[in-house]
Amino acid sequence: MSLLGTVIGALWAMLPAYIPNNAAVLFGGGRPLDGGRNLGERRILGDGKTWRGTIAGITAGTLLAGLLNVLRERAGAAFGVTLPSFPTAAAVALPAGAMLGDILASFLKRRTGRDRGAAFPVLDQLDFVAAALALAAVVVPNWTRETFTPGRLVVVAIATPALHLLTNAGAYVLGLKDEPW
Ligand code: CTP
Ligand code: MG
């Protein structure tokens, strides 16, 4: 497969994991997942991880995967590539894993003394991808192996931090997010 085909296939396969964070920023707020409770001196997760944001994120990612399934044939023909489709379990596992990774990262941030919104380079940019792939690998192992070929994984590892930094900077400029990371 061509380089362009690999890049398009990789981004297509990851889109249901990319969108949840942005949906959480847009729709988040309200009751925190940890109910305001502490673990030791600090919050378990903090006010940045809410029920609304988490549910909105998983819903948005799952709906997007469904939309991509509908568009797949036409988009593939337009680009001249074969694009991956998302079985229902994968359509849920990718966004759920992404949200889980983000939540685990906040847990780690609080345990290492970082307040809500503090930057944690590398973890901030890759937590959700690693967790999305890990959950997909557990829930739909064959699909994950066939979809995330070594070539596509390389693209994901390079493109994800760049996309994440760009969208977060954009959300910051638009006043949707308190910090640009
Ligand atoms: N958000 C949410 N629920 C989630 C994830 C995010 O409501 N599960 C919303 C919150 O309003 C949050 C914003 O999206 O403030 C930005 O997300 P993120 O950068 O992940 O959270 P931070 O506020 O920076 O908190 P943390 O330091 O824990 O990452
Ligand atoms: Mg943050």
Task: Map tokens 């493109």 to a residue.
Answer: 159
Task: State the distance from the centre of ligand 2 to the C-alpha of 47, rounded, in angstroms.
Answer: 11
CB 36 near ligand 1, within 6 Å: no
Q: What is the reported pTM?
A: 0.95
Report helix angle 150-173 to 3-27, nearest 10.
40
Which amino acid is present at 32?
P
* Cβ pair 130, 100 in contact under 8 A: no
pLDDT, residue 57, reads 98
10: nearest Cα among 98, 84, 93, 89: 84
pLDDT average, residue stretch 142-156: 97
Task: Give 39-54 pLDDT, tens digit per residue.
Answer: 999 999 999 999 999 9
* Cβ pair 167, 180 in contact under 8 A: no
The proportion of the chain whose per-residue pLDDT surpasses 90, expressed as a percent, equals 95
CB 125 near ligand 1, within 6 Å: no
As given in the structure block, the two tokens for residue 128 are 């959700």
95: nearest Cα among 56, 138, 57: 57
* Cβ pair 95, 133 in contact under 8 A: no
Task: State the distance from the centre of ligand 2 to the C-alpha of 165, rounded, in angstroms.
Answer: 11
Task: State the distance from the centre of ligand 1 to the C-alpha of 54, rounded, in angstroms.
Answer: 9
Q: Count H helices and E strands in the chain, helices first.
A: 6, 2
CB 25 near ligand 1, within 6 Å: yes
Determine the Cα–Cα distance for residues 14 and 127; give it in Å rounded to an integer. 13
CB 177 near ligand 1, within 6 Å: yes
Task: State the distance from the centre of ligand 2 to the C-alpha of 172, rounded, in angstroms.
Answer: 11
Residue 1 pLDDT more than 80? no
CB 72 near ligand 1, within 6 Å: no
* Cβ pair 28, 56 in contact under 8 A: yes
Task: State the distance from the centre of ligand 2 to the C-alpha of 80, rounded, in angstroms.
Answer: 38
Residues in a beta bridge with 39: 42
pLDDT, residue 86, reads 98
CB 54 near ligand 1, within 6 Å: yes
Count CB neighbours of 116 within 10 A: 17
**Confidence grade of residue 62 (pLDDT, cut at 50, 70, 90):** very high
CB 123 near ligand 1, within 6 Å: no
CB 66 near ligand 1, within 6 Å: no
pLDDT average, residue stretch 143-148: 98
